[in-house]
Amino acid sequence: MEKRFFNDKVILHCDVNNFYASVECASRPELKGKPVAVSGNPKTRTGIILAKNDVAKSQGVKTGESIYEAKLKCPSLICLPPHFKLYEKISNKIISIYYNYTDTVESFGIDECWLDVTGSVNLFGSGKKIADSIRKEVLEKVGVTISVGVSFSKLFAKLGSDLKKPFATTVISRENFKEIVYPLPVNAVIGIGNRTLKKLEKMNVLTLGDYVQIPDLILKKKFNIVALQLKQKLLGEFEEQVVDNSLRPEVKSVGNGTTTITDITKREDVFSLVQFLSEKISKRLSDKNLVGTSVHVSLKTSNFERFGKSQTFLFDLSRAEDIANCALEIIDCFWNYTTPIRSIRISVRNLKSKLRPKQASIFDEKLGKKESFSRTIKAIKERFGEGSIELASVLKSKFINKDGE
């Protein structure tokens, strides 16, 4: 029986095993028992493994490697393109199951969630019993497996879900957390990146047990306050709240980016890609009834160098034409169109509700016609699909990867 200390929370971290691949296999029974991976398209230079099922994993297939490398290990590997709308639908279905057990659910990506079930133990039993019930219900109703960590903290709950996969429950309690957690490698927790890891290795800090021995002053001096907070979490002294999805801050930006099929240098090609991305951003802004006043553009070169610049404008942005023109204006300010561009990302920021009263510009006599044109384009796409109408420059383009984000 789990021993619970006074005032301790009961927190679960639920992680869907091999999410993309699991969803594909659950929706296509003929894939059962076969090695399956969700991957990019080799022809569009996004040919890497995004997710794999356990059969593929057992044959050495790894996330992040190229399809070519994966098929050398597993010639029978079935590679499927990603279906993000399906994944979002399944994610929402799983989250709705979580809400049957608690009203406090915090998403961490599309396939992971923290649940605060402190107030539910009297109704459903211990944290482990709740975790086991959730695992069973998700498998029966959705057809995918999840691993669950149970603990008094978010950090340890997340560690627990990582320790045993697939379809397992791991309890990390006040009584056993040092025994389970401290022997783990120092990069087993969120927040220890490669740069920090290298610094810690030079200090001979290899495990999480080593990490908690670092004096506070050294952590502050060599790293930052976040590093000190991590130590407090690992000592079980730092209480971090689970924040329900409905209480999350409002969206701060809406963006879209893609990798080109071939490198581009010509200004007209860059503008075609900017128009393509702006159409997608405009639709998302419209769906959320948002407008913005700032645009950020990020470019990645063929040498994988990144460049970016932001600019704030004196008018609201939501129409694709306006977003595209502003983005190109920003690019013209800092780019010479000689270095080959591999990818572009655009985001609209400083968002606010479109429903607020707006001051019309006396300089834009064609505003009404433009708004009408935008509404017509949107209506056509909603009725006949996203690809039913496109700008001529986009249709002619041979370098735009139309499967961008």
Position 360 confidence tier, pLDDT thresholds 50, 70, 90: very low
Q: Is there a single domain that holds both residue 148 and residue 266?
A: no
Pick from 199, 234, 269: which residue ends a domain?
234
Same domain, 177 and 193: no
Give 300's contacts (C-beta < 8 A, 6+ positions apart). Answer: 259, 306, 341, 342, 343, 344
**pLDDT for residue 4:** 57
Give the total number of structural domains in the chain.
3
154-161 mean pLDDT: 96
Q: Which domain CATH number covers 26? A: 3.30.70.270
The answer on 331 and 194 residing in a single domain is no
Q: Quickly state the pLDDT bin for 92 (edges 50, 70, 90).
A: very high
pLDDT tens, position by position, 164-185 = 988 999 999 999 999 999 999 9
133 with 210, same domain: the answer is no
- pLDDT digit string, tens, across residues 62-86: 988 889 899 999 999 999 998 888 9
Both 153 and 260 in a single domain? no
Q: Residue 213 is part of a domain; what is its CATH number?
A: 1.10.150.20
Question: Out of 24, 106, 112, 279, which one is annotated catalytic?
Answer: 112
pLDDT at 126: 96
170 in the same domain as 48: yes
d(CA 227, CA 165): 28
* Cβ 215 vs Cβ 227: under 8 Å: no
| Radius of gyration over every alpha carbon of the chain, rounded to an integer in angstroms | 25
Q: Identify the domain containing residue 25 by its residue range.
A: 1-181
Give me the mean pLDDT over the 105-111 stretch: 91
Spatial separation of the C-alpha atoms in residues 285 and 330, rounded to whole Å: 20
Residue 218 lies in a domain: yes
Q: How high is the pLDDT of residue 365?
A: 44
| C-alpha to C-alpha distance for 139 and 148, rounded to whole angstroms | 13
Residue 386 designated active-site? no
Residues 81 and 137 in one domain: yes
Q: What is the CATH number of the domain that holds 296?
A: 3.30.1490.100
82-86, 244-248, 392-396: range with lowest mean pLDDT: 392-396
